[in-house]
Amino acid sequence: MMAKLLKNRELLLVGAILVLIALIAWRFPPFVAPANLARVYNDTSILIILALGQMAVILTRCIDLSMAANLALSGMVAAMLNAAFPGLPIPIIILSAMALGAVLGMINGALVWKLDIPPIVVTLGTLTIYRGLIFLLTNGKWINAHQMSDAFKSFPRADLAGIPVLSWLSVVMIAAMFLVMSRTALGRAFFAVGGNPHAAVYTGIDVGRTRFFAYCLSGTLAGLSGYLWVSRYAVAYVDIAAGFELDIIAACVIGGISIAGGIGSVPGAVLGAMFLGVIKNALPVINISPFAQMAISGMVIITAVAVNARAERRKGRVILKKAEAV
């Protein structure tokens, strides 16, 4: 029983997070106050949503380096819509940001699928293109809080049953992704394509199309995150979330999503994001310098990659059951 528990990545992550919180509480007891832990989760909600989208892409043996740039462009367009049409309903702005994010994800997916360009090359290129488009749209100008409507800024901060809407949205996305990954043919196709693309073809799965849908999903979640980011922080500019794609990928790796594809889970992605969220919220309050914070984050990522490498030597998830002998 104990051996099985030690092999369960999600349980190990839960234990690691609890130990980390205990160590932080020893140095700074107020950190473990329920209200503060709720704030930590709320601060990590956007990273959780993005990690869920990246997880779908990584499961298919691809990667999306453009998620943060997608977030920035979608968020800027959402802010520009609000500044130009202050009376536009917030749901329309959110849907517009998600639609734009989905289109940007489709571009990535189509290039990977139809032109067979390596995903890392495609998304590195579109990362630069999307950032450049923000500059062209705005001439490098910012959209600040005074240009945004109160409704635009207050939506993610609004309380629902004592919990911010931002936190509720992340919970809804977690539940939706869990259903997609565990109860739909598309979710099973993500695992099958990442586990063995050649075998997936023989089962009738279109590998390129599956990867295309994974990029559409990651793009849609990046678009949603774009609105949430600019409305929560009440500012939009070219370099929004610059470098944040590394945090997104790190959350997935820490959560046990295999870069080689085919191995991972929704709880793992969420816990990986939470682990990073606890670190990023805790280190400043216990007076760890920014340079030491970078070193600690790097060591965590390397350790996670090493653990994943050992885990991948074991048999991956079984998608198709063996046919019974006749």
Residues 128-147 have a mean pLDDT of 92
Question: Tell me: the pLDDT tens digits for 36-87?
Answer: 999 999 999 999 999 999 999 999 999 999 999 999 999 999 999 999 999 9
Taking the C-alpha atoms of residue 151 and residue 155, their distance in angstroms, rounded to an integer, is 6
Highest mean pLDDT among 34-38, 118-122, 262-266: 118-122
Lowest-pLDDT choice from 69-73, 198-202, 226-230: 198-202
Q: Would you say residue 315 lies in a domain? A: no
- CB count within 10 Å of CB 177 equals 23
Q: Which domain holds residue 104?
A: 45-288
CATH of the domain at 147: 1.10.3470
Q: What is the token pair recorded at 240?
A: 């929004």
- Indicate whether 193 pLDDT > 80: yes
Share of the chain above pLDDT 90, in %: 64
Let me know if residue 296 belongs to a domain.
no
Q: Over the stretch 6-34, which tens digit does the pLDDT of each residue have?
A: 467 788 888 888 988 888 888 888 888 99
Q: What is the DSSP string of 314-326?
A: S-----SPPPPP-
Q: What is the pTM of this model?
A: 0.91
Q: What is the pLDDT of residue 286?
A: 74
| Confidence category of residue 311, pLDDT binned at 50, 70, 90 | low
Assess if residue 304 is contained within a domain. Answer: no
Residue, of 27 and 104, whose pLDDT is higher: 104
DSSP 128: H
Q: Which residues of 31-57 are buried (b: 16+ CB within 10 A; e: fewer)?
A: beeeeeeeebbbbbbbbbbbbbbbbbb
Averaged pLDDT, 211-238? 96
DSSP string, 42-76: HHHHHHHHHHHHHHHHHHTT---TTHHHHHHHHHH
pLDDT band with cut points at 50, 70 and 90 for residue 2:
very low
Domain annotation covers residue 25: no
Query: How far is CA 65 from each of CA 122, 207, 213, 324, rounded to the nearest angstrom?
Result: 9, 20, 16, 42
- pLDDT at position 312: 61
Are the beta carbons of 62 and 211 closer than 8 angstroms? Answer: yes
pLDDT band at 292 (very low <50, low <70, confident <90, very high): confident
pLDDT-derived band of residue 326, with 50, 70 and 90 as boundaries? very low
Is pLDDT at 254 greater than 50 in this prediction? yes
Domain presence at residue 149? yes
Q: Is 155 helix (H, G, I), strand (E, B) or coil?
A: coil
pLDDT on residue 207: 95
Q: Within 13 Å of residue 258, how many CA atoms lie on the same side as its CB?
A: 23
Q: Parallel, antiparallel, or unpaired: how do β-strands 163-164 and 159-160 relate?
A: antiparallel
Q: Are 193 and 200 in contact (CB under 8 A)?
A: yes
The residue with tokens 């630069």 is 128
DSSP E strand stretches across the chain: 159-160, 163-164
* pLDDT(287) > 90: no
Give counts: helices (H), strands (E), the chain.
Answer: 14, 2
Is 27 domain-assigned? no
Q: What is the pLDDT of residue 88?
A: 94
Local confidence band at 313 (pLDDT 50, 70, 90 cut-offs): low
Q: Does the pLDDT value for residue 300 go beyond 70?
A: yes
Number of domains in the chain: 1
